[in-house]
Structure 1
């Protein structure tokens, strides 16, 4: 069965992969496999690459100098795994309920339905499904209408097929990544003005950015991390992530902007690695 590519991934750029640093690799990897249904694609001495089918989504690494990041450090708020359909979201919820997965919350965001939880080291996770793009409402300024309403988990659970759950379905992807940053104006400057993402929504202490009128590929908030400085070397949590461009022209435009502003970056085989103002690594790739 072929799975239609999620709208989020058909935009000019989208989040492709994420990389977390952890203290207990077997424990965290086991959680993402058993509770989220990711499969190990690759193993090395220092880490593992997990994904769906042959598609890598999440890299986990560890090391001797790893130390636990404080809750108010810049870094990850959550990695958001996008299900290819509402049915798959319901199927995952049924699996979670039958395996006593502790949930942190659930919300109806109008554009999507989302369930929140955390891995064993406190890294935030969102599991969500988008509503059809044609149902989204946009304001005159181009921003999208989003809200945080109660999600009827029982109704979602009741809609799940009563079949065996075999892990994350083909087509599952990282729909967006939500960051903790030190301040919002600086985040707006970096993600909107430097990388060229569009500001799609704003909340007190948060901004949501995307390409191609998606609701958000990247979000940034200061809810736990207001005033945070650069991440220290060896901190647990989000090390880096990849923003993949569907067309080379958009990537070239972003790279030209980095060069124009003399932002430090490393070019390698057509990709560019840089760090945001809080030291979170970011690879721009075609």
Structure 2
């Protein structure tokens, strides 16, 4: 029996993104895409929704309803869900699978800390498939931030390195490494993720901040590239309904809850953790 892979560095930090929930119009079509193209497995299924993941670990929930309407491109919401694969061979294997399936890619980048491939699902929800370089290969600045860039990724070389066996789905150990949001104001994102939830700003691009815990390059990012000035999302929109942030340290969770209380941001205790709305109307569950 193969050894269970060690958790990704991203997941061993004080807090990390655990899963996301999208509302879609054509549930069957979108589920089929995440199964056949992305390589996730169906873990739970009902008429109104499906939970997908890897090796029994839930990463993405898809639901629908009779009154769902397509969200405007400029609305606050999801920029992309980022699926972190265990290593470069796994990224190459997914790329070869996508090429053979005729998938249209939106782009590919070398970010110094990672190598990433971008695409969209059938309803326009952004997706990143990426692998991290080892943290020992990253360049940290004196203030603790990390050097990131957007450079060309040689897709041909990556494709040529792919294992020759048939793609059987995402490799065990694949996780939702980070989530990237469209927001109305970057300063508002800084105030929420840094000042309330306690994440550190690890990098900045024009119009974007990248937040993380424990020295990761980013668990959450927020940009205004399409959504400058966007207000809170309306109910019934397609796209990101909610996401889950897991704290590995109970003290960090309690600090975040105390900060939410000081800011008079309402939370509701659920069977999973503490549920709230982020500043852009998306559901967020904090759990330990």
TM-score by length of 2: 0.98
Distance 1:205 1:141 in 2: 20
Partners of 2:151 and 2:182 in 1: CA distance: 22
Unaligned runs of 5+ in 1: none
Aligned partners of 1:86, 1:280: CA distance in 2, in Å? 33
In the alignment, the residues of structure 2 paired with residue 260 and residue 186 of structure 1 have an alpha-carbon distance, to the nearest angstrom, of 17
CA 1:270/1:62 → structure 2, altered by over 3 Å: closer, same or farther?
A: closer
Which residue does 2:242 correspond to in 1? Answer: 240
Look up the match of 2:258: 256
Q: Cα deviations across residues 19-69 of structure 1 (Å, max 9, x unaligned)?
A: 000000000000000001101100122100001121110000000110000
In the TM superposition, 1:172-183 aligns within 5 A as 172-183=174-185
- Aligned partner of 1:146 in structure 2 is 148
Query: CA offsets, 1:108-145, max 9 Å, x none?
Result: 00000000000000000000000001000011111100
With structure 1 as the length reference, what TM-score do the two structures score?
A: 0.99
Tell me by how many angstroms 1:160 deviates: 0.8
Match of 1:69 among 68, 71, 86: 71
Structure 1 stretches of 4+ with a deviation exceeding 6 A read: none
For residue 270 of structure 1, report the CA deviation from its aligned partner: 6.3
Task: Pick from 51, 60, 63 the counterpart of residue 49 of structure 1.
Answer: 51
Number of residue pairs matched by the alignment: 286
Partner of 2:227: 225
- 1:156 equivalent among 149, 158, 162: 158
Q: Deviations over 1:58-84 (max 9, x none)?
A: 000000110000000000000000001
What's the RMSD between the two structures over aligned residues?
0.8
Alignment of 1:8-47 (within 5 A): 8-47=10-49
Q: CA deviation at 1:15?
A: 0.4
User: Cα distance, 1:269 vs. partner?
Assistant: 3.7
Select the residue among 193, 196, 208 that pairs with 1:191.
193
Q: What stretches of structure 2 of length at least 5 have no aligned partner?
A: none
2:146 & 2:24 partners in 1: Cα distance? 35
State the 1:240 CA deviation: 0.4
User: How far did 1:4 drift?
Assistant: 1.7
